[in-house]
Amino acid sequence: QVQLVESGGGLVQAGGSLRLSCAASGRTVSGYTVGWFRQAPGKEREFVATIRWSGGSTYYADFVKGRFTIFRDYAKSTVYLQMNSLKPEDTAVYYCATADPSKAWPPGKYEYDYWGQGTQVTVSS
């Protein structure tokens, strides 16, 4: 079983940046498709970005294109979400999740098998 650990959340002013990290405890995220999702209070969990480990293909939600970048570090077996030009509406708990690379691309939300506990991102206006 893969246990995912997110880190890097915090409080930032609008226009600022944060970098979130996603690593696995006990195993590695290498080889998986890794996605980032977020959930704001009272809202459903929504897709943000995903990356296929092999080949590095990426896919983004429209509302983060040009602001967020997902990338992987082979040496650290870690996936990052670089978030720039943050807006108050980006405030949410951010989760990373893994999907088997054999799934269709990009995987749907329910095709992700393992999820982290989340990290809070708060953007003040």
For 9, phi and psi rounded to 5 degrees? -70, 170
For residue 66, is pLDDT > 80? yes
Q: What whole-number distance in Å separates Cα of residue 117 and Cα of residue 105?
A: 24
pLDDT of residue 2: 75
pLDDT of residue 29: 84
Half-sphere exposure of 82 (CA within 13 A, CB side): 7
Pairing of strands 68-73, 58-60: unpaired
pLDDT of residue 34: 96
pLDDT of residue 100: 93
Residue type (1 letter), 71: F
Percent of the chain as helix, strand, coil, to the nearest 5: 5, 50, 45
pLDDT of residue 74: 87
Express each pLDDT in 13-64 by its tens digit: 999 999 999 998 877 888 899 999 999 999 999 999 999 998 899 999 999 9
